[in-house]
A and B are shown apart, each in its own frame.
Chain A
Amino acid sequence: EAGVAQSPRYKIIEKRQSVAFWCNPISGHATLYWYQQILGQGPKLLIQFQNNGVVDDSQLPKDRFSAERLKGVDSTLKIQPAKLEDSAVYLCASSYDPGRPPLHFGNGTRLTVT
């Protein structure tokens, strides 16, 4: 079984620029999550999708962050404009459905905002 794929692996941008991350979940997984992990902290949920629909985006800074999951498969997370405090690892995870753990994580995208 192929794992969760994420790209790019690393990204360095200047503040006020925009950036996008891509995630391809495990085939057949209906639930997709984006987490933000700041250095030295645990992952914080940004947004949770169930198929095409958003289940929870209560911690997504909607003035600058957006995410979509077209056709219930791949997902992109965008930041525009980026701030210094957005420097973090962005992790994508997937599961069969919310009630069936565990979560399977990708290796993340490390974003540095200068």
Chain B
Amino acid sequence: SQQGEEDPQALSIQEGENATMNCSYKTSINNLQWYRQNSGRGLVHLILIRSNEREKHSGRLRVTLDTSKKSSSLLITASRAADTASYFCATDYTGTASKLTFGTGTRLQVTL
């Protein structure tokens, strides 16, 4: 079964607004990663946060991790039309040979 569950399933915002998507998981992890997938393409790695980190930034991206609640959030600030894509969290949970398990994804639509 899918390890991570994303919320919301779909999000529609206007250009310039911020987009927040959440990910919940079930077991202890080594790290959590976020990937983006444009329509008809493969996934592209965005950012990785390790289990001992609480917050990480990369450009317009901000990721938080709360291991006590087994949840993470991805914030995209000042969104652009080019950010339109599906976003997936992926968990590398402890006790495995670094096997990534992907969530169900959030479909983000950014309109002009």
State whether B102 touches A55 (Cβ < 8 A). no
State whether A42 touches B102 (Cβ < 8 A). yes
Q: Which of B44, B96, B99, B103 contacts A42 (CB 8 A)?
A: B103
State whether B88 touches A42 (Cβ < 8 A). yes
State whether B48 touches A55 (Cβ < 8 A). no
Within 8 A of A (CB), among B65-82: none
Q: Is the CB of B97 closer than 8 A to any CB of chain A?
A: yes
Within 8 A of A (CB), among B4-53: 4, 31, 33, 35, 40-45, 48
State whether B92 touches A107 (Cβ < 8 A). no
Within 8 A of B (CB), among A27-63: 33, 35, 41-45, 48, 50, 55-56
State whether B40 touches A107 (Cβ < 8 A). yes
State whether A105 touches B42 (Cβ < 8 A). yes
State whether B99 touches A4 (Cβ < 8 A). no
State whether B45 touches A48 (Cβ < 8 A). no
Of the stretches A14-22, A68-76, A79-87, A95-103, the one at the interface is A95-103
Q: Which of B2, B42, B103 contacts A4 (CB 8 A)?
A: B42
A-B contacts at CB below 8 angstroms, number = 63
* Residue of A whose beta carbon sits closest to that of B45: A102
**Chain A residues whose C-beta falls within 8 Å of the C-beta of B48 in the assembled complex:** 101-102
CB of B27, distance to nearest CB on chain A (Å): 16
* Interface range, A side: 20 to 34
- Decide yes or no: A107 and B41 within 8 Å by CB, A42-B2, A48-B99, A99-B98 being known contacts: yes
A107 to B31: give the CA distance in the assembly, Å.
25
**Chain A residues whose C-beta falls within 8 Å of the C-beta of B35 in the assembled complex:** 102-103
Q: Is the CB of A25 closer than 8 A to any CB of chain B?
A: no
State whether A105 touches B104 (Cβ < 8 A). no
State whether B33 touches A102 (Cβ < 8 A). yes
State whether A42 touches B104 (Cβ < 8 A). yes
A-B contact pairs, 14 of them (CB 8 A): A41-B105, A42-B4, A42-B103, A48-B99, A55-B97, A56-B96, A98-B98, A98-B99, A101-B45, A101-B98, A101-B100, A103-B43, A104-B45, A107-B42
